[in-house]
Chain A
Amino acid sequence: MHPAPSIILFSTLSGLGFGLLVFLGVGAIQPVGPAAAAFHGIGLGLAVAGLVSSTFHLGRPERAWRSFTQWRTSWLSREAWAAVGALLAASLFALTAVLGAPVPLLGLLSAALCLLTVLCTAMIYASIRAVPRWHHWTTPATFLLWCLGGGAILAAQTWLAAMILLAAGVLQVATWRRGDDAFAALGQTVGTATGLGARVEPLERPHTGESYLTHEMVFRVGRRHADRLRLIALLLAVVAPTFLLLLVPSHAAGLVALLCFAAGILAQRWLFFAEAEHTVGLYYGAPGGRTT
């Protein structure tokens, strides 16, 4: 799948923001006065920035309000509702915290809605059967763990952050390994896609140039390239922040840890899209396996 920068930026930023809002909501940190304004402001700011950037990939962003209507069937619509609910609850909780009288119940509601939003985002991908690498419980699980990991770094929960990051890293490696076999496990080939039997080879494409389909869904990434990026993602999102948080207890180190983590998540999200094989690739002769 095409790794669109707006979507990668959206889930990275909003994941960080919602993660921090979760830790604020459950009362893991209870800043007061100006510190409260700063913490809640950062959480809300990141979440809103992410949501705004997600509208950049729309063909008609001025109609985005319509996406609130189909919550019965569409995870994207549910995400819209959850995001608005989360931002409302988090804003009200932030207001009470800044005023010095935080309402714990409102905080819990805010935390739950923030997690629900991230779950909905992940379910948009996990619900797509045509992309077997995504169509699995590990998709929401990794999204939620990375969200909590980022939130823990922002909330300066050193030990907790380290543990979540390690767990997320382990799950991520398992997810990548499972994902590498997912397309083959779906059992679809150019033979089943065309119904023409076991020995079918594309002879000519339907178009001499590119098309929306090849741009959007027949994206291929080299194996060596992907392996290197996976390593970079793990080093930046897990190893570097863990060492910095545990061994260098200072604000500067915390900031570096956060930046490393964000860069690692950008790499992870790029891979999430770039490595995902869509069944439409079969019509263009792109097999489930990746090219070198």
Chain B
Amino acid sequence: MTMLPAGTERSLGLVIDLDICVGCHACVIACKGWNDAAYGAPLSDRDPYGAEPEGTFLNRVHSYEVVPEEGAAQTVHFPKSCLHCEDAPCVTVCPTGASLKRAEDGIVLVNEAACIGCGLCAWACPYGARERDPSAGVMKKCTLCVDRIYNDALPERDREPACVRTCPSNARHFGDLADPESAASRMVAAREGFDLMPDLGTRPVNKYLPPRPKDERVDVLAPLLEPVAEEPSGLLGWLDRQLGKL
């Protein structure tokens, strides 16, 4: 059903800390690994060992150079996956009802058995969160690892999205963003987490935490390297003056 729910009981989503993401792409690989063998059709690759390898991914890490108002340029790694928007435009455009937002937890999912692979949802998403798998012919997107987070067969510590579980720098967090007391919400409040392109009215659930301002660079050697004498004197001064006369 492509009508958006009036509201969701919970708003499960990710909080991504751009300050500590090191751009290792481990989340990309963990996501691909889990979703190759779990919910829905596997994420296929094309020409994986050839000249133009290409594949379907639910999570991708961009890298940007950011020049702050003051100080040196910084490299910021930017993981991007479905933001599980409250007003998800990808859901309402779907002609078949395959694209849906769950009322119980707010996860935006694709029912792959009903998807015709028209790609309209990918067009409607401003963020590029959906890709059509060339082998299965259906739309793929982040499921928030819906088959992990409620999975009683997994140890409790593994009941979070694969990308969050694997992140070695702890830059990814998972939680209920509708609950102001959740760890994820408190982190967003403390660090002034923000939405991507909020003016487009999609109301993303996922939040990004900005890079912290860098400490001012202190040059510890500078005071020791100040010139001891501006004008040369003594033998060196005499030599300098004689040479200058030539």
Residues of B within 8 A of A106 (CB): none
Q: Is the CB–CB distance between A206 and B61 below 8 Å?
A: yes
Taking CB atoms, residues of chain B closer than 8 Å to A60 are 115-117, 137-138
A210 touches B62 (CB 8 A): no
Within the assembled complex, what's the spacing in Å between the Cα atoms of A213 and B60? 11
B96 touches A212 (CB 8 A): no
Which of B92, B119, B194 makes the CB contact (< 8 A) with A74?
B92
Cβ distance A188 to chain B, nearest Cβ, rounded Å: 6
| CB nearest to A281 among chain B residues | B128
Interface residues in B33-75 by Cβ distance below 8 A to A read 52-57, 60-68, 75
Looking at the assembled complex, report how far the CB atom of A114 sits from the nearest CB atom of chain B, in whole angstroms.
Answer: 20
Give the number of residues in A that approach B within 8 Å (Cβ atoms): 56
Note all chain B residues with C-beta closer than 8 A to A192: 196-197, 199
Interface check B187, CB cutoff 8 A: no
Does B29 reach chain A (CB closer than 8 Å)? Answer: no
**B137 surroundings in chain A (CB, below 8 A):** 58-60
B208 on the A face (CB < 8 A): yes
Number of B positions contacting A (CB below 8 A): 66
Is A73's CB under 8 angstroms from B116's CB? no
- A73-B92, A216-B119, A217-B122 as given contacts; A201 in contact with B64, CB under 8 Å: yes
Q: Is the CB of A208 closer than 8 A to any CB of chain B?
A: yes
CB neighbours of A204 from chain B (8 A):
62-63
Cβ contact of B62, chosen from A58, A80, A283, cutoff 8 A: A283
Q: A60-B115, A63-B96, A64-B116 are in contact. Are A196 and B54 (CB under 8 A)?
A: no
B118 within 8 A of A: yes
| Pair A59/B132 contact, Cβ less than 8 Å | yes
Q: Which of B60, B62, B96, B199 contacts A187 (CB 8 A)?
A: B199
Does B165 sit within 8 A of A, measured CB to CB? no
The verdict on A59 contacting B136 (CB below 8 Å), with A203-B63, A208-B53 known, is: yes
Do A129 and B62 have beta carbons less than 8 Å apart?
Answer: no
- Interface residues, chain B, CB within 8 Å of chain A? 1-3, 18, 25, 28, 52-57, 60-68, 75-76, 78, 80, 89, 91-98, 114-120, 122-128, 131-134, 136-139, 194-197, 199-201, 208, 210-211
4 more A-B contacts (CB under 8 A) besides A80-B95, A202-B65, A211-B54? A60-B117, A73-B3, A188-B200, A217-B123
Q: List 12 A-B contacts (CB under 8 A).
A: A74-B94, A74-B120, A80-B95, A127-B93, A131-B123, A187-B199, A193-B196, A199-B68, A202-B63, A202-B65, A203-B64, A280-B127
